[in-house]
Chains A and B, each alone.
Chain A
Amino acid sequence: MPRDTVDDEDEAALLARYALGDAGAARLLTERLLPPALSFACRMLAGDRAEAEDVAQEAMLRLWRAAPGWREGEAKVSTWLYRVVANLVTDRIRSRQRRNRHTGGALLELGDAPEAADGSPGVEARLIAAERMAALDLALAALPGRQREAVVLRHLEGLSNPEIAAVMGVGVEAVESLTARGRKGLARALGPYRALMGFEGE
């Protein structure tokens, strides 16, 4: 089902249908909400795919459990889900920090990148793309958490500033400030990787 055929009001209606025992509604909600939840979690967790999947699954489970008491019009389903993902990510990062496992702050070492099994252009392109994504993930991980959240929601998830404000529980002005500072920090962090980004020839 095309994702853009379901708007936010439909998500609330689908959740109500799910609460009444409609398994098809659960399928539609999963197809609609799981991809952004996973993407957001992945970027917030420095590209850790396995942990991001756990977070996305847990967030969806909380949505299923919240369905019976969901009051239509109180909150947008997608906004609510982003907030849950953000909270789960924060918990995981704090847990990591307690175990003294830092998630970011180190420069990407290109020598650590996986080597291509052969020299085919497709493999090389995928490796370059993976290295570029890894550089972005490390740069994002180096940002303060609130800035990272605002930048990811604005520039990678495509939310508007009022939507981000609703997710983060702050005003729109605070979102603008967090996003601007996050962009500056990210531009600085990615500066050394300008050649890797391949902008010179474009």
Chain B
Amino acid sequence: MATAAQTPVDFSAAFNMAPTPLADWLIVMPVAWCLLAGAVLLMLRKRTALHPGIAIFALIGLCLFDAALLVRVLAEGPLTMVMGRWLPPFGIAFTVDLMGALFALTAALVALAAGVFGRADVDTTGRRYGFYPFLMLLMAGVSGAFLTGDVFNLYVWFEVLLIASFGLLVLGSERAQIDGATKYAFLNLVGTTLFLIATGYLYGLFGSLNMADIIVKAPQLRDTAPLMTLTTLYLLAFAMKAAAFPVNFWLPASYHTPKLAVSALFGGLLTKVGIYALIRVLVMLFPVERDHLAWVIAVIAALTMVLGVVGALAQNDTRRAVGYLVISGIGVMMAGIALGSPGGLSGTIFYALHSMVVMTALYFAAGIGGTLAGSFLLSRSGGLYAGHAVLAFTTLALFFSVAGLPPFSGLWPKVLLVKAALDVGAWWLAASILVTGFLTTIATGRIWLLAYWRPAPVGAEPGTNPRAPTAVEGRHEPPVAAPGDAAPPFAAMAVLLALTSLSVVFGLWPEPLLAAAQEAAAALLDPSAYVLSVFPGEVPQ
């Protein structure tokens, strides 16, 4: 202490000396808030009656923080906060651009929906195993991944969400769940390890992990450093996370085993984190290398979308079919990454946001329908339309939305993507998107026909299917509603309707989201604003 007084230290060489305005705290609040709520819930782990209230309050708070953040980013461009006051690139930077803010807000909305749905779906045992604490910690990981501006930090948030997702997968520790979780855990660990190896390599090449710093340094290193190898490693690691063909088989093997609220959350969020990372690293950090890989990504995209939907056609279990639809959507999103044009990328971003909402809602719908019919198997269910017209029409709307039919939100991103593909003459990619849409219509139509439209078996009241056993098949926990209930639970239906109406609203009035997606895509292709927000005064290239 005495020496410090004698020789004054110039803190401004290492520290950001400007005071941080309170509004900048919005950048880290989504993460810090989720961690706080998760910790509080974990401390109250025995008081399960308090869990839903605290968690839903926290999730509403998260939505508000993310919404405020989005408003600020829309008004002011990318925002940066560097942890611990250190100057970048040495401090860990959180940099929020428009894409990150859009993804974070949609993820928060989906998590809120899952939290409300979980009130009915997750029983006391599930709560004692920690559904709500894990949900909050998962959201800390997801929000962190969307908001961070540091590659290694992105890896850390991947780990956080992965560990929370392991916990969510095995709520209740049943045999089928452990089986699904083992496959999920193994493949995700392989993907994460690849990600870590690639990141170590990246650090070795660049001596920096800050994304803005990498954008600045990449042009000088491009001639000498093996950036192509690095980009390919990242492509493989993130494709595994996103469940792209041929590394997609872990998803249908595991996503139908946990509670429905968990399946819905995973189907909505986790694969999109992989897509987000792909966009961030391939498009923003290594655009030149992505150009070289464009063919590979395009072929992967086409195969993923077509094979995904073919898988959905073949399923008897509605939850597994929805799992395959999630994969098919990943293919559509990867098509935009392969194209790499402003139109293609804005299509991908729009589709990812649409997919988060719609896939979550589809799992909810499949769950409510399955419990009402007494079975998730198409061969055993039927007659839902007669008893539950609202549910039937909502599900039909979601099916149209996922197939990309108007007037729902799935239409516009597909229009953007097909147009972008035709613009560069990739007619086969455009054709595969259209064929996928057509096959999706057939696949979802088949589910709707068999589970909803087809009359219930003779001599049965709707909802009390005599072919179905009293316990719901393929589920071992108490269902959302007991089979034979006259109406689905109110909260579950309300959540389903809210998510579906989001899809309808953005289908009928897509302009604001389209404009935001286009702006976000333009910012990714020309990241000078992103770099400027981290290094004020620096001019990239």
Indicate, yes or no, whether A interacts with B: no
